[in-house]
Amino acid sequence: MSGPLLDHIAVACTVLEDVLPLYTEGLGLRLLGVEAVPTEGVRVAMLDLGGGARLELLEPTTETASIMGFLARRGPGLHHIALRVADIEAALAQAQAAGLEIIPPAPRPGAGGSRVAFVHPKTLQGVLLELVQPGAGVHGDAPPAGPAAGGTL
């Protein structure tokens, strides 16, 4: 069984409609869909990067959204990378056993019907990492869960 695969790279932005054309018209990326993720206080646009990987644009929908602090400190830009795992509970157990700090609550609902968890950046050299167990998907090209989609960490 192979290890996790790249699921997506996330970019924080303030207004999706201002940024989306830069990626679709400017770079020719195909928009897979836009949806609200109430548990995170964001609206996401997923763009196809090919090979099952995606680019996720994040827009805050509330003043208490977790990305509001990021935008206030750093401004728009690269927010996190996400790895696709077949079994999020097994991946979390492995990560915690290795000393990685998980940001609670975990796992929780994510975009496209996925289940997600985040690893605190202080335990990964400043990188915020998201673990994603794909769901049924509302973005059309969401990869299936299971061994072909990558194993645990």
Distance of CA 31 to the CA centre of its chain: 16
DSSP classification of residue 123: G
Task: Kindly report the CATH number that applies to the domain delimited by 5-149.
Answer: 3.10.180.10
Give the pLDDT confidence score for residue 94 in this predicted structure.
96
Which pTM does this prediction carry? 0.85
The residue extents of the domains of the chain are 5-149
Q: What gap in Å lies between CA 98 and CA 38, rounded to an integer?
A: 31
What residues of the chain score a pLDDT lower than 50?
1, 138-153
Q: What is residue 33's predicted lDDT score, i.e. its pLDDT?
A: 97
Please tell me the predicted confidence (pLDDT) of residue 3.
82
29 vs 27: CA distance, rounded Å: 6
Please give the pLDDT value at position 90.
96
